[in-house]
Amino acid sequence: MKAVILAGGFGTRISEESAVRPKPMVEIGGKPIIWHIMKIYDAHGIRDFVIAAGYKGDVIKEYFASYFLHRSDVTFDLAANSMTMHSSVVEPWRVTVLDTGLDTMTGGRILLARKHIGEETFCLTYGDCVAALDVSALVDFHRRERATVTVTAIQPPGRFGALSLEPGGGRIERFHEKPDGDGGWVNGGFFVVEPGVFDHIADEQTIWEREPLERLAEEGKLAAYRHTGYWQNMDSLRDKMVLEEQWASGSPGWKIW
């Protein structure tokens, strides 16, 4: 099974980092977040990746072009202009990086990746989210449901501290530093998709999260896999700092490998 990673956006909300590299290449613990995402899939035996790049896609290509070299012991014979590779520690990945354009929408990027996906079930996710996700269980659920698309549904925690105020008064009765969210389920990415979905993507300006998913929901062909474990996106510099702190702790919540 292949995993398609949407990695073409401008990352404007984290412009401090994305001014020089695409958001999926922003590093957490010295490795781009896209590497962490790929390790999650790799832990479940999915090692064939299609990366739908766009903004600063060359940075992604250059990273994987030199990946083997950077992860290997090597001898350079300068006089002979030769290089000898020794031991190497690299994952058995196959990585296809596609230039899907600067202004292409998410659905359009999926459509442009079609010829590299083939007519088989595939995984799909965004290039800025990590989770302690049981991908194998997600795929099994998708097959049982016989859906066209299965989305991982998550319940995000509240983002800000909450105050409980006394009725009619000016005193705070309780302060909640990390309150629960409102209980609603939202799109957490990490989809499983059938090739029939391409019939629901009109062109390169189609937004994946709008017409295709909305129509599939109306047709009863969109399933939700409920994930209650760790999930975190990297939408802002604050999110990046949270992920960096968790990685530095030695036991980040998404490290399942």
What is the C-alpha to C-alpha distance for residues 144 and 46, in angstroms, rounded to an integer? 19
253 pLDDT band, cuts 50/70/90, is very high
CATH number where 159 lies: 3.90.550.10
175 pLDDT band, cuts 50/70/90, is low
Summary mean pLDDT of the chain: 93
Comparing C-alpha atoms, which of 2, 102, 9, 6 is closest to residue 49?
A: 2
The number of domains in the chain is: 1
**Domain encompassing residue 162:** 2-248
**CB count in 10 Å sphere of residue 43:** 16
What is the C-alpha to C-alpha distance for residues 139 and 69, in angstroms, rounded to an integer? 34
Residue 59, in any domain of the structure: yes
Residue 256, in any domain of the structure: no
Residue 253, in any domain of the structure: no
Comparing C-alpha atoms, which of 134, 125, 119, 111 is closest to residue 38?
A: 125
Comparing C-alpha atoms, which of 114, 131, 116, 117 is closest to residue 44?
A: 131
**Pair of tokens at residue 216:** 């599939």
Residue 257, in any domain of the structure: no
Q: Is the pTM of this model over 0.85?
A: yes
Check pLDDT > 80 for residue 172: no
The helix/strand/coil state of 136 is: helix
Residue 94, in any domain of the structure: yes
Tell me the pLDDT tens digit for each residue of 84-140. 999 888 999 999 999 999 999 999 999 999 999 999 999 999 999 999 999 999 999
